[in-house]
Amino acid sequence: MNRIPVYALLWFVSTLFLSGERCIAQYSNLPLCTASNEQLFPDLVSDGHRGAIIAWMDARNGNRDVFIQRIDASGKALWKEDGIAICQLPGSQGWPILIPVLNNDGAIIVWRDSRNGNPDLYAQRIDVNGTELWDKNGVPLCQNLASQDDPRAIADGEDGVIVVWEDWRNSRQDLFAQRINGKGETIWRKDGVAIYDGKGDQYDPSLTTDQTGGAIFAWWDISTPEWRVFSQRISAEGRKLWPDRGITVCEANGNQGGPLAISDGSGGAFVVWSDYRDDPAIFTTSDLYAQRINANGQRLWNPDGIVICNQPENQQQPFIAQVNQGISGIVVTWWDDRDVFSDIYAQWINGDGEPMWEINGLPICTAEGEQRQPKLIRDKSNGTIIYWLDYRGDYGNEATSAIYAQRIDKNGRSLWALNGMPICLADGGQMTPDAIMIDNMVLIAWSDGRNGDSYDIDIYADLIPLNSNIIE
pLDDT in tens, 332-386: 999 999 998 899 999 999 999 999 999 999 999 999 999 999 999 999 888 999 9
| Strand, coil or helix: 51 | coil
pLDDT at 6 over 60: no
* Cβ neighbours around 287 below 10 Å, total: 25
d(CA 220, CA 204): 7
Q: Which residues contact 353 (CB under 8 A, 6 or more apart)?
A: 290, 292, 300, 301, 302, 306
Predicted pLDDT at 398? 56
d(CA 241, CA 61): 45
d(CA 470, CA 466): 9
Q: pLDDT of 411-425, one tens digit each?
A: 999 999 999 999 999
More confident position, 288 or 282 = 288
Residue count (the chain): 472
Paired residues of 441 in beta bridges: 438, 465
Paired residues of 256 in beta bridges: 275
The burial class, CB within 10 Å (0-12 / 13-18 / 19+), for 72 is middle
Largest CA distance in the chain: 59
d(CA 208, CA 268): 9
Mean pLDDT, residues 38-63 taken together = 96
Mean pLDDT, residues 306-326 taken together = 90
pLDDT at 467 over 80: yes
d(CA 415, CA 413): 6
Please give the sequence-ordered ranges of beta strands (E in DSSP) within 89-191, or none if there are none. 93-100, 107-113, 120-126, 139-142, 148-155, 161-167, 174-180
> C-alpha dihedral over 426, 428, 434, 439, to 10 degrees?
-20
Predicted pLDDT at 223? 82
Q: Which residues contact 115 (CB under 8 A, 6 or more apart)?
A: 89, 90, 91, 93, 137
Q: pLDDT of 234-286, one tens digit each?
A: 999 999 999 999 999 998 999 999 999 999 999 999 999 999 998 866 778 89
d(CA 354, CA 218): 22
Percent of the chain with pLDDT over 70: 91
| Cβ–Cβ under 8 Å, residues 258 and 271 | no
Domains and CATH numbers, the chain: 6-465 (2.130.10.120)
Give me the amino acid identity at 96: P
